[in-house]
Chain A
Amino acid sequence: MTTLIRSIAVGAALFAAGAVMLERARAGSDEFFPPVTDPLTRQECGSCHMAFPPGLLPARSWQKMMGELDNHFGEDASVDAATAKQITTYLVAHAADSTGYGDMRRWLRGVPASAAPQRITELPKWVREHREVSPREWTRKEIASKANCVACHVDGERGYFEDD
């Protein structure tokens, strides 16, 4: 009986270790960005657009954005101070240049250290990855805007942004 429990425990541990390694390997690729797991961030940042993975911007960008929510790309997206603080902490901890989770630094290639870009769609890597999408394609009604990732990346909510 103890042997059985022990083998189950070893199996579970191996599985967990494998899952962590797989997650890290995927996080290193250009196509997987760990999705938002914090429920508050997911809810507040996912009402008007998808809750963009925090690894898509550096910490300094998230900090700037969270300080200007009353004018969020022209919209009033303000939240109360306690909510803003909790979301900022989460975004910064999981930002592209954080060491907390995976390594997204390659995603920031070409972004000056002094800049705090706000539009993900203006990052050099984003532009490069979407250079094959024709201007006509962007005007399709069901796309609506470049912020609507999931119009094309059907598994974007789960973090997958491979070519579709």
Chain B
Amino acid sequence: MQIRPRFLFLAALTMMSAAQAAQAAPRDDILAGYAAQAKAADAAFAGFSAARGEALHRDRHSGGKPDSPSCTSCHGENTRAAGRTPVGKAIEPVAVSVAPTRYTDAAKVEKWFRRNCREVLGRECTPREKGDWLAFMTTQ
């Protein structure tokens, strides 16, 4: 019973790409869900925009808490670096390229949009804003 190293290598490679695909699929489902909601809210909706998502992420907003006028107040300017909560705990980077398991659990994504949009904007985010923001993070 001998297993060739090349076979092992190929098997590992297949498993790795399968794992990445497995994470992309739920993320796509979450985005599709937001797209359907955005379309329902506005018939002219023509897809998400990473550029709009970046603006939402980086802009300073009013209406939320004075301590957190922007997503970057806690997540930091660099999407690929760790952020920091107001009480000092590190936050995993928001960019999908460095945190590939992010945005794969729809309930978790909703929970954090609900909390953080209220903190930063003083209101819940719209489906379009959520999709734009996710679209930006998948390019990061």
Contact = CB atoms under 8 A, between A and B. Distances in A.
A15 B77 CA distance: 51
Interface in B84-114: 84-89, 111, 114
Nearest to A46: B89
Contact of B87 (A76, A79, A148): A148
Given A75-B119, A76-B119, A151 B88 contact: yes
A77 B89 contact: no
B88 A76 contact: no
Contacts of A48: 85-87, 89
Contacts of B84: 144
B118 interface: yes
A76 B114 CA distance: 9
A50 B88 CA distance: 9
A76 B113 CA distance: 11
A149 B108 CA distance: 26
A145 B87 contact: yes
6 contacts: A47-B85, A48-B85, A49-B88, A142-B88, A145-B88, A151-B88
Interface of A: 47-50, 74-79, 142-145, 147-148, 151
